[in-house]
Structure 1
Amino acid sequence: MLESLLVLGLVSILAFVLSGSVQSSFTAVEEQIFFMEFEELYRETQKRSVASQQKTSLNLDGQTISNGSQKLTVPKGIQAPSGQSIIFDRAGGNSSLAKVEFQTSKGAIRYQLYLGNGKIKRIKETKN
């Protein structure tokens, strides 16, 4: 009986430890997928402004990022800026923001937005 309780306790502890590592791995993958989707939405919005020859905007509203026809939901572990818009001119160049910063549990992900040409660069800053 005592051995059974000991084994049960050990298995429970092991399961608890493993579930924590699985959860942190899942969160890391979810964050990576989100940032890849954000970059793709940025490029799609840029292409849309060139194709339509009209100004197009990518709106950041805290929990969602949208361009009017596509919408990206921000995962719970990421804090996104709110009330910001990236405006693309008819040539696809960014004419509004110089940077967008997201906060994660491990630090910040900053996108350097080059005004005029529409290119972006991801910069990762980890917490110490």
Structure 2
Amino acid sequence: MLWRPRGDNWGALRLTTTGRRSGRPRSVIIGYFEDGPNLVSLAMNGWGEAEPAWWLNLQAHPDAEVDLRDGRRPVRGRAATGDERSRLWTRWSELDKNLDAYALRRPSETAVVVLTPRAGAPDAARDD
């Protein structure tokens, strides 16, 4: 089930990436929030050590598609860095009060993933 973020709750979207080895479509449901036209998620694998396959796929093939409650749109994935990463991490911390404690379980920094609209994508900020 997919839902939009509301207030202090994140939403859920279906991300379809291209498999880095198979070249075939791979889909996963991930949490997100909106940052202007961008969708923001965390590259986590149950807070385990390994990077999630969807993030590895996005790094190899950044163009992907997301299914949201209001339809499908093409996106391009990238890792947030510097001040942008700090700002977006802070926003996730507001949505999940245990975020920093969970992140400490991982041996490396958790990537903050930004999914930016590609040309021809509808406006991500519209209401239901």
- Which has the larger share of strand? 2
| Pair member with larger Rg | 1
TM-score (norm 1): 0.25
Does 1 or 2 have the higher relative contact order (CA < 8 Å, sep 6+)?
Answer: 2
What is the TM-score of this pair, normalised by structure 2? Answer: 0.25
Q: Larger % of helix: which? A: 1
